[in-house]
């Protein structure tokens, strides 16, 4: 079994807190698996995603992502690893408002090329037009500054940026929250088709459990996180 994520006895405690926010005895995700992750606010979802991305560092336990022990990497090494191996779709988009939509999308490729030590100009992706068209991003939208776009349009730009470099691991934090049902369904189909084509692993977080059936497995934080159980948390159906 080839694992994308291998967690054992992982704990994370925020500063000035007496109890851990996250305690995961064991969690394994196979490469190519598409996981739907669900949990109530405060159940540790965002903390877990930040640990998987290498933004946060756990205090104890084992966290192995794509065969790399993240706790053994420096902060810069984790940043390079994330740029090289992951596509992250942030809930807050993290677009640069003064750049055009197209420039924001290619910015992800620039970071990937930099992490790989290659020339960004050599990493031009022929799938750009197909990808942006599939997400409903028109030529006019792509030329406009990101700050001038609607919330839904900004989210589609963030999705395109994450998918363009064909990452091995895609982490999506509430990526459909600002999309209408038509664009939501198109996005889910595109995300899963892209991931299957490149055998990418997907960790998809959403409060909309009606989307869970599109994924190969569903995980709820109240079962995954022992700290949430001990603090009396209960997942919401």
Q: At 164, which CATH number? A: 3.40.50.300
Give CA–CA dist 70/72, Å, rounded: 5
Query: Does residue 235 sit within a domain?
Result: no
Query: Does residue 100 sit within a domain?
Result: yes
Query: Does residue 208 sit within a domain?
Result: yes
What size, in residues, is the chain?
Answer: 237
At 5, give phi and psi (nearest 5°).
-135, 130
Residue 190 has a pLDDT of 81
Query: Does residue 91 sit within a domain?
Result: yes
Q: Is 36 helix (H, G, I), strand (E, B) or coil?
A: strand
Residue 122 has a pLDDT of 46
Structurally, the chain folds into a number of domains equal to 1
Query: Does residue 12 sit within a domain?
Result: yes
Taking 50 as the pLDDT cut, the residues of the chain under it are 122-123, 234-237
Query: Does residue 14 sit within a domain?
Result: yes
Query: Does residue 237 sit within a domain?
Result: no
Who's near 126: CB < 8 A, 6+ residues apart?
none
Give CA–CA dist 210/93, Å, rounded: 23
Give CA–CA dist 55/12, Å, rounded: 13
Residue 222 has a pLDDT of 87
Query: Does residue 236 sit within a domain?
Result: no
86: alpha, beta or left, given left = phi > 0 and alpha = psi -120 to 50? beta
| Residue tagged 């997400």 (tokens) | 135
Range of the structural domain that residue 80 is part of: 3-230
């Amino acid at each position: 079994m080839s694992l994308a994520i291998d967690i054992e006895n992982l704990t994370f405690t925020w500063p000035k807190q007496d109890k851990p926010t996250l305690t995961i005895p064991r969690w394994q995700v196979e490469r190519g698996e598409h996981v739907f992750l669900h949990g109530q606010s405060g159940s540790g979802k965002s903390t877990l995603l930040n640990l998987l991305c290498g933004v946060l560092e756990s205090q104890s336990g084992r966290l192995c992502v794509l065969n790399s022990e993240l706790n053994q990497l420096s902060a810069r090494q984790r940043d390079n690893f994330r740029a090289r191996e992951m596509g992250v779709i942030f809930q807050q988009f993290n677009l640069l408002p003064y750049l055009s939509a197209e420039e924001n999308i290619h910015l992800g490729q620039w970071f990937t090329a930099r992490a790989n030590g290659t020339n960004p100009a050599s990493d031009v992706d022929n799938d750009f037009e197909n990808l942006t068209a599939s997400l409903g991003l028109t030529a006019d939208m792509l030329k406009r500054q990101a700050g001038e776009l609607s919330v839904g349009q900004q989210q589609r730009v963030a999705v395109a940026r994450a998918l363009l470099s064909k990452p091995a691991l895609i982490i999506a934090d509430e990526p459909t929250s600002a999309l209408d049902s038509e664009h939501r369904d198109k996005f889910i189909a595109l995300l899963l088709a892209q991931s299957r084509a490149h055998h990418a692993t997907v960790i998809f977080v959403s409060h909309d459990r009606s989307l869970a059936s599109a994924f190969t497995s569903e995980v709820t934080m109240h079962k995954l996180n022992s700290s949430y159980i001990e603090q009396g948390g209960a997942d919401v159906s």
